[in-house]
Chain A
Amino acid sequence: MTPAAFVILHATVLPVSGPALPDTPVVVDEGRIVQVGGAVPGGVRTVDATGQYLTPGFIDLHSHMGVYPWPGGGGTSDGNEAVEPFTPRVRAMDSFDPEDPALARARAGGVTTIQVLPGSANLVGGQAAILKLRPSRTVEPMQFAGAPRAIKMACGENPKRVYGGATDEDQVQTRMGELAMLREEFTRAREYAAARGGKAPPPQDLDLDVLADVLAGKVRVNLHCYRSHDIAGWFRVADEFGFRIVTVHHALETYKVRDLLAAHGTGIATWPDWWGFKQEAFDGIPEGAALVSSAGVPVATHSDSSSHVQRFNVEAAKMVRYGMTEADALESITLDPARLLGVDAWVGSVEVGKTADLALWNKHPLDGTALCQKTWIDGVVVYDRAGEGTPDGLR
């Protein structure tokens, strides 16, 4: 044990990887969980959590914090590089503002890891930033070391709406146009990938570099997609080119084709109850996530909102209202998003060997009046309600 070691005592631990553990000590040293249960080691700092609940830090697969920082407006709108339908070259980290006030409020809700995505104007919108919510003045210290690369793609109404009004005949007007463009682009990427390793490599193309890596399975694909027929269409193209869609985001009609997702090993990231804001969202039903989960598909609750992410425990509780088990609901904000990001070796559960990204709650976190009391990232306290008051600084 180092001098920095500490033990959280008497909490009910909700490890997510297993059943609840009443009155169980959790020992943290050098940023890692080194002991769950057993005898309390002597000579280490203690955190008394009597009557409280300890969970893994929450993970949001769909965040625009930092790329649409608050207060919102044209001056800070940095999420959509809507200059053409394919911009795999752009990176969310290059827009990310670490001083977005929403970040501190998310920490105060027990959120510790986020995937920051570019917006959904483009068919391929750019590269994701997978970040830990470490308080920081620049984005670099927030990077989740070891996290696989990830990219944002989008289909359906948004690219059509953004580019459909253009008179330029190269722009996209319909869903069939979107998929034709996708096939064209991946055809180019396949040729580029083949030539890249050859004797006469082509001039470097920052877009095709990324898409070639997608084809090589080095980049996880996040697809913004609502409609069942859009999902089926994208699977057709992905199967043809041999890349895998790891997570379908929003996914409001995936309950209709959950067998297709199961067969492709594709997970979803969705809301418990959003629907109706556009035509492709009109068939969203709140039981959709539970139906998809029942088909064996990993389901992550996502926020897509700098406000809702602050109450991620309540979002999970609503999943229970609409048919999920409590265990699956907690998994949907912890371990399932960790798996879909490819970081579950480090985070997503309270287990020995994992990083000490933890949240302490005054009540069971699925109680709508529960408030996060303390948040740790890498074993460091990043929010303490007793000291800081509410996320907005009031007491």
Chain B
Amino acid sequence: MASASRRDLLAGLGALGAGLVVRSAHAAFPKDVQTSPGTFTSPVPPAGDPRAVDEGGYIAAERPARTTWTVSNAHILVGDGTVVRGGVRVEGGRIAALGPGVTGGDDLGGATVFPGFFDGGSSIGLVEIDLEAGTHDEAESSDGVVPAARVVDAYNPASALIPVARRQGVLGGLVLPSGGLVSGTAAWMCFAEATVEGATWDAAAGVVIQMGRGGTGGLPNQPKSRMGVALKLRELLDAHKLPEPPDPKAKKKKGEPEKPEELTRTQQVWRAVRERKRKVILGVDRADDILTAIALAREYGLDAVLLGAAEGHRVARDIAASKFPVLLAPTSTQPSGWDTLQASYANAARLEREGVPLVFRAGGPHNLRELPTEACLAVAYGLPHEAAVRAACGHNAAKVWSGLPFGTLAVDRPATLAVADGDPLQPRTRVLRAWIGGSELSLRSRQTTLLERFRTLR
């Protein structure tokens, strides 16, 4: 409820419109406006707290990380949809034991332990400020077809956006190039390392291809219509055929060394795509574009992932039959543009019901902390809570990209996890602590520094 001073102020406002309150040009300002205790709390550890390792948010390199520890008295979301009570014991950065038998260590007082959140696709690390052209590295616009352009060569692990995501428990994500028809090679990145090398979980997570209107545009070699998108992609795939199997009848001259095939970087990427050694991530939203993408991927035997799929619910059975997973941003499924006129809040639930593997994404790089909110909204519209956890907390992502070291809390798995003060999907819930590979992370960011600086006006 409004405080007394606030009520007075509001009463003053009510008079406006009837008559103007003329103020002096030099109105006396209150000396200080303290935040009143009881109305403002923050989960951020204050400076000096051992959890506040440093301002930049990285684990200080010179500080040996404690990778053997125990937390107990928690509600544990394992990540695969199951829930257990008890604790987690970590030894050497890996989970040594988990469940009701684990006691001692830090008593979490019934808080929730979960694997953290892992975002299924954004430009974080490639963009700092949308309207500052000098901070953009997500689109290699010299050509419309740049499959060998790698986001790991642009990713900035010191981006101020990363600790902001991490503070709400988003511990890693798929980083996507954009623009053109074939945008480049995506990477799975960890949000807690000071170097690109250290932060890279998978430098070659897939070649991003924009379909539908998204693939058209004015760059060199970029098509201008959907017809052109499909034609150009088929031409590119035709031009990078798999090598002919060696002819057993052909006589091999003795002593003549085999000529190694010389491929350019771009040819190597296409070869890997044709050999199903590299995924393709196909950006599609309109229902017929989804079907085109599925048909094209099948025609060439590609290992595909769909990105977007706002109208996926209209062709959910076709997507399920393709076995292609979907990187889905539920709230972007709005009828806001011509490619998403049939978008629906029920999209995630419909796709899940047909058996489509889902990985949630938040969308814009500044608010990856919206990932749990996206998952929660899907729950509101019928997605089972455990399915939302699998899609937001890395379990499904680590199945699609096998080998990713997160998403399930189990013995011998890396101790990558977070603690929240309630259901981690709920918008009121706060994330209190987080670890990657057993090392506790700082939850400080540029934003918490600003908060501390202006908590009291001086």
Residue among B6, B366, B379, B448 making CB contact with A369, cutoff 8 Å: B379
Q: A392 vs B345: C-alpha distance in the bound complex, in angstroms?
A: 7
Which of B223-231, B317-325, B393-401, B422-430 lies at the interface with chain A? B422-430
Contacts of B430 in A (CB 8 A): 321
Q: A70 vs B36: C-alpha distance in the bound complex, in angstroms?
A: 43
Residue among B128, B335, B344, B379 making CB contact with A101, cutoff 8 Å: B335
Interface check B369, CB cutoff 8 A: yes
A contacts with B: majority SS = loop
Decide: A265 and B9 in contact? CB cutoff 8 A. yes
Which of A43-51, A53-61, A256-264 lies at the interface with chain B? A256-264
Q: A363 vs B131: C-alpha distance in the bound complex, in angstroms?
A: 39
Decide: A366 near B33, CB < 8 A? Known: A71-B341, A287-B42: no
Q: A263 vs B16: C-alpha distance in the bound complex, in angstroms?
A: 15
Interface check A31, CB cutoff 8 A: no
Contacts of B36 in A (CB 8 A): 294
Decide: A321 near B428, CB < 8 A? Known: A276-B130, A344-B14, A390-B344: yes
Interface check A331, CB cutoff 8 A: yes
> Chain A residue with minimal CB distance to B32?
A259
Q: Which of B335-380 contact A (CB under 8 A)?
A: 335-338, 340-346, 364, 366-367, 369-370, 373, 376-377, 379-380
Residue numbers of B with Cβ under 8 A of A are 1-3, 5-6, 9-10, 12-14, 16-17, 19-30, 32-33, 35-36, 39-42, 128-132, 160-161, 164, 313, 331, 334-338, 340-346, 364, 366-367, 369-370, 373, 376-377, 379-381, 425-430, 447-448, 450-451, 454-455, 457
Residue numbers of A with Cβ under 8 A of B are 18, 70-73, 101-102, 105, 148, 157, 161, 216-218, 220, 236, 239-240, 242-244, 246, 255-256, 258-260, 262-265, 267, 273-279, 282-283, 285-287, 290-291, 293-298, 306-308, 311, 314, 317-318, 320-325, 327-328, 331, 339-340, 342, 344, 366-371, 390-392, 394
Contacts of A264 in B (CB 8 A): 23, 27
Decide: A244 and B20 in contact? CB cutoff 8 A. yes
Kindly list 9 other residue pairs between chains A and B, CB separation below 8 angstroms, not including A263-B28, A278-B132.
A71-B336, A259-B30, A260-B29, A314-B376, A317-B428, A321-B430, A339-B13, A392-B345, A394-B313
Contacts of A317 in B (CB 8 A): 426-428
Decide: B376 and A263 in contact? CB cutoff 8 A. no
Residue among A18, A277, A311, A392 making CB contact with B344, cutoff 8 Å: A392
Contacts of A220 in B (CB 8 A): 16-17
- B311 CB to nearest A CB, Å: 11
Decide: B427 and A314 in contact? CB cutoff 8 A. yes
Contacts of B450 in A (CB 8 A): 283, 285
Decide: A296 and B27 in contact? CB cutoff 8 A. no
Q: A267 vs B16: C-alpha distance in the bound complex, in angstroms?
A: 13
B contacts with A: majority SS = loop
Q: A180 vs B195: C-alpha distance in the bound complex, in angstroms?
A: 47
Decide: A285 near B337, CB < 8 A? Known: A274-B366, A325-B39, A368-B373: no
Closest 9 CB pairs of A and B: A217-B20, A148-B17, A368-B376, A317-B427, A278-B131, A276-B366, A295-B33, A369-B380, A239-B25
Decide: A323 and B42 in contact? CB cutoff 8 A. yes
- B172 CB to nearest A CB, Å: 20
Q: List 25 A-B contacts (CB under 8 A).
A: A70-B336, A72-B336, A246-B13, A265-B12, A267-B13, A273-B369, A273-B370, A274-B366, A276-B129, A278-B132, A285-B451, A286-B447, A290-B40, A291-B40, A296-B6, A297-B9, A298-B10, A320-B428, A321-B428, A342-B13, A366-B428, A367-B426, A368-B377, A368-B380, A370-B380
- B358 CB to nearest A CB, Å: 17
Residue among B1, B40, B457 making CB contact with A327, cutoff 8 Å: B1
Q: A366 vs B427: C-alpha distance in the bound complex, in angstroms?
A: 8
Contacts of B381 in A (CB 8 A): 371, 390
- B386 CB to nearest A CB, Å: 14
Decide: B366 and A277 in contact? CB cutoff 8 A. yes
- B387 CB to nearest A CB, Å: 13
Q: A76 vs B139: C-alpha distance in the bound complex, in angstroms?
A: 28
Residue among A18, A290, A296 making CB contact with B9, cutoff 8 Å: A296
Decide: B336 and A311 in contact? CB cutoff 8 A. no
Contacts of B377 in A (CB 8 A): 311, 314, 368
Q: A324 vs B427: C-alpha distance in the bound complex, in angstroms?
A: 13
Q: A246 vs B12: C-alpha distance in the bound complex, in angstroms?
A: 11
- A315 CB to nearest B CB, Å: 8
Residue among A18, A242, A298, A390 making CB contact with B346, cutoff 8 Å: A390
Decide: A73 and B16 in contact? CB cutoff 8 A. no
Q: A321 vs B44: C-alpha distance in the bound complex, in angstroms?
A: 12
Contacts of A306 in B (CB 8 A): 334, 336
Contacts of A325 in B (CB 8 A): 39
Q: A256 vs B26: C-alpha distance in the bound complex, in angstroms?
A: 19
Decide: B334 and A259 in contact? CB cutoff 8 A. no
- B216 CB to nearest A CB, Å: 15
Decide: A369 and B346 in contact? CB cutoff 8 A. no
Decide: A392 and B335 in contact? CB cutoff 8 A. yes
